[in-house]
Amino acid sequence: MNPKPVWAADDPAGNPPPDPAPNPDPASDPAPDPATTADYSFLPEQYRSDEAPDIDGFKAHYDELAAAQAQRDEAAANIPEDASGYEFALPENLDFGELNLPEDFTVNPLTDDPAMTPLFEGLGSFMHQHGLPKEAAGDLMGMIANYEATKYSQLHTAAEAEMTSLGSAAHSRIANIDRALQSRLTPDLAKALSAHTTTAKSIQALEKLLAPRSLPTPTPTPNTTDLSGLTGSARLKAINEANAAK
């Protein structure tokens, strides 16, 4: 005889109590969330791909942008408050490279010339308007100096070629011309003509003009006036008129 659970009600028919309901299965763990996909929508289009984003390429691009911005920030810090903050002076490390120039060649920037003051003031305004840093003024002066040196180098090279065509005595010939001019002219006039001893033709022309020479002997002109029959004042008048007509 099966024992009767204490909680089971009595059955008048004597039937056995039903088996107790089975215990429910313990609740299963919740289903895991679907795997999440990384969001690369912030990447520029050229660095996005259905296969794999170009993270390294984007990083290099970002580093370039950051470096460029740092340079702009540094340049902005060097912009003067107004146009007067630019100093137009020749750079200390000015180098003319391989230009053919005389040893004593120098460039005069004319920054102390009152006539050039409006030009430099205008340059300062232009540079400040375009947000250029202070050191840009020195860079500009270096470019101007190189331009002037290049022009002078061309003239200097041409002058050397002219002197070569005059031979080894070119400099002594110029010195002779200078002495001759100084002996015949005032210093200012002599200096004006000496400035033209830069080409072979001008030197040859000055040598020809300054060379000592004897004056040509005048050739007498025969008197063809008919003075026959004239006497006294009439004869003298006829002679004067003939001389004046020569």
**For residue 65, is pLDDT > 60?**
yes
Of 99, 132, 165, at which residue does a domain stop?
Answer: 165
Residues 139 and 85 placed together within one structural domain of the fold: yes
Residues 86 and 142 placed together within one structural domain of the fold: yes
Residues 205 and 112 placed together within one structural domain of the fold: no
- Residue bearing the bigger pLDDT, 47 or 27: 47
In 3D space, the residue among 189, 203, 97 whose CA is nearest the CA of residue 159 turns out to be: 203
Position 67 in a domain: yes
What is the overall mean pLDDT for the chain?
A: 81
Question: For 223-226, which contacts have Cβ atoms below 8 Å and span 24 or more sequence positions?
Answer: none
Residues 156 and 172 placed together within one structural domain of the fold: no
Residues 158 and 194 placed together within one structural domain of the fold: no
Position 227 in a domain: no
Position 194 in a domain: yes
- What pLDDT score was predicted for residue 10? 55
On whether the CB atoms of residues 126 and 77 are closer than 8 A, the answer is: no
Residue 149: pLDDT band with limits 50, 70, 90: very high
Between the alpha carbon of residue 188 and those of residues 29, 43, 78, 184, the distances in Å are: 114, 78, 50, 12
- CA 151/CA 99 separation, integer angstroms: 10
Residue count (the chain):
246
What is the average pLDDT across 34-61? 78
Number of domains in the chain: 2
Residues 101 and 175 placed together within one structural domain of the fold: no
Of 165, 197, 232, at which residue does a domain stop?
Answer: 165
pTM: 0.53
- What pLDDT score was predicted for residue 138? 94
In 3D space, the residue among 97, 197, 98 whose CA is nearest the CA of residue 142 turns out to be: 97
What does 17-73 look like in DSSP terms, one character per residue? PPPPPPPPPPPPPPPPPPPPPP--TTS-GGG--SS---HHHHHHHHHHHHHHHHHHH
Residues 101 and 152 placed together within one structural domain of the fold: yes
Whole domain around residue 202: which residue ranges?
168-211
Residues 63 and 141 placed together within one structural domain of the fold: yes
Residues 75 and 143 placed together within one structural domain of the fold: yes
Position 24 in a domain: no
217-242: per-residue pLDDT in tens? 455 555 566 666 666 666 666 666 76
